[in-house]
Structure 1
Amino acid sequence: MYSSATTGTPTQTRTALRPPTAAGGRPGQGPAPYRDPRALATARGLLPRQADQLAARNGTDRMQRGRALEAATADRLDPAALQTPAVRAALANIARICPGFLPRQVLREGSRHILIAGTIGRAPVVAKCLAPQALRSEHAEQLIERFHHEVSVYRAFVRHRPPVRLPRLVAADHDRCVLVMERVPGRQAARERHPVSAPTPGELRAVLGSIRSLNLWRPPTDVFGKPLDYQLEISRFHSVGQLTDRDAGDLRALLHGLAGSPLQLCHGDALLGNILLAPSGPVLVDWEQAGWYLPGYDLAVLWSVLSGDSAARRQISQLAQSGGTVARDAFLVNLVLVLMREIRLHDVPGAGEEQRIMIRRLYDDAALARRAVRTAVGTR
Structure 2
Amino acid sequence: MYPSATSPTAPRTGAAQRPPTAAIRRPGPKPPLPARPAGRVEAPGFAPRAGADRLLRPRAPQPAPAVERADPAALAAPAVRAALAHITRICPAFSPRQVLREDSRHILVTGLIGRTAVVAKCLAPQPAQSERRAVLVERFHREVAVYRAFVRHRPPVRMPRLVAADHDRCVLVMERIPGRPAALERHPANAPTPGEVRAVLGSIRALNLWRPPTDVFQQPLDYQLEISRFHSIGQLTDRDAGDLRQLLYGLAHTAPQLCHGDALLSNILLAPSGPVLVDWEQAGWYLPGYDLAVLWSVLSGDTAARRQISQLAQVGGTLARDAFLVNLVLVLMRELRLYDVPGAGEEQRIMIRRLYDDAALARRAVRAAVGTR
What are the equivalent positions in structure 2 for 1:173-212 lying under 5 Å apart? 173-212=166-205
Alpha-carbon distance in structure 2 between the residues aligned to 1:135 and 1:180 = 25
Alpha-carbon distance in structure 2 between the residues aligned to 1:352 and 1:76 = 36
CA contact (8 A) 1:134 1:140 kept: no
CA contact (8 A) 1:263 1:295 kept: yes
The residue aligned with 2:216 is 223
Query: Which of 140, 144, 151 is 1:151 aligned to?
Result: 144
Query: Which of 279, 288, 291 is 1:286 aligned to?
Result: 279
1:102 aligns with 2:126: no
SS of equivalent to 1:181: strand
The number of aligned residues is: 312
Letter in 2 for 1:237: F
Post-superposition shift, 1:322? 1.0
Letter in 2 for 1:278: A
Alpha-carbon distance in structure 2 between the residues aligned to 1:135 and 1:123 = 36
Query: Which of 341, 345, 350 is 1:348 aligned to?
Result: 341
Deviation track 1:223-279 (CA, whole Å, cap 9, x = no partner) reads 211100000000000000000000000001100110111110000000001100010
The residue aligned with 2:288 is 295
Alpha-carbon distance in structure 2 between the residues aligned to 1:306 and 1:300 = 10
SS of equivalent to 2:344: coil
Alpha-carbon distance in structure 1 between the residues aligned to 2:213 and 2:245 = 31
CA contact (8 A) 1:112 1:134 kept: no
CA contact (8 A) 1:111 1:134 kept: no
The residue aligned with 1:330 is 323
The residue aligned with 1:36 is none
1:358 aligns with 2:347: no
1:268 aligns with 2:258: no
Cα pair distance change 1:298/1:369, threshold 3 Å: same
What is the identity percentage for the equivalent residue pairs of Structure 1 and Structure 2?
A: 83
Q: Which has the larger radius of gyration?
A: 2
Alpha-carbon distance in structure 1 between the residues aligned to 2:370 and 2:301 = 28
1:164 aligns with 2:163: no
Q: Which runs of 5+ in 1 are unaligned?
A: 1-44, 47-64
Alpha-carbon distance in structure 2 between the residues aligned to 1:221 and 1:353 = 45
Cα pair distance change 1:221/1:327, threshold 3 Å: closer
Query: Which of 238, 246, 251 is 1:245 aligned to?
Result: 238
Letter in 1 for 2:134: E
Alpha-carbon distance in structure 1 between the residues aligned to 2:272 and 2:215 = 32
Alpha-carbon distance in structure 2 between the residues aligned to 1:197 and 1:332 = 25
The residue aligned with 2:85 is 92
Post-superposition shift, 1:136? 3.8
The residue aligned with 2:133 is 140
Q: Which runs of 4+ in 1 moved over 6 A?
A: none
The residue aligned with 1:372 is 365
Post-superposition shift, 1:360? 0.4
Letter in 1 for 2:91: C
Alpha-carbon distance in structure 2 between the residues aligned to 1:276 and 1:134 = 32
Letter in 2 for 1:120: I
Alpha-carbon distance in structure 1 between the residues aligned to 2:150 and 2:127 = 26
Query: Which of 257, 265, 270 is 1:277 aligned to?
Result: 270
Cα pair distance change 1:134/1:212, threshold 3 Å: farther
| Larger helix fraction of residues | 1
Letter in 1 for 2:344: A
SS of equivalent to 1:139: helix
SS of equivalent to 2:92: coil
Q: CA RMSD in A?
A: 1.4
SS of equivalent to 1:283: strand
Post-superposition shift, 1:331? 0.2
SS of equivalent to 1:220: coil
SS of equivalent to 1:356: helix
CA contact (8 A) 1:190 1:272 kept: yes
Alpha-carbon distance in structure 2 between the residues aligned to 1:177 and 1:359 = 34
Post-superposition shift, 1:137? 4.1
Post-superposition shift, 1:135? 6.5
Alpha-carbon distance in structure 2 between the residues aligned to 1:219 and 1:261 = 17
Query: Which of 104, 111, 115 is 2:104 aligned to?
Result: 111
For normalisation by structure 1, the TM-score amounts to 0.80
Letter in 2 for 1:98: C
Alpha-carbon distance in structure 1 between the residues aligned to 2:69 and 2:310 = 43
SS of equivalent to 1:132: coil
The residue aligned with 1:236 is 229
Alpha-carbon distance in structure 2 between the residues aligned to 1:102 and 1:221 = 38
SS of equivalent to 1:141: helix
CA contact (8 A) 1:164 1:283 kept: yes
SS of equivalent to 2:143: helix
Letter in 1 for 2:121: K
SS of equivalent to 2:178: coil
Query: Which of 309, 318, 333 is 2:311 aligned to?
Result: 318
Deviation track 1:274-304 (CA, whole Å, cap 9, x = no partner) reads 1000101101001001000000000000000
The residue aligned with 2:115 is 122
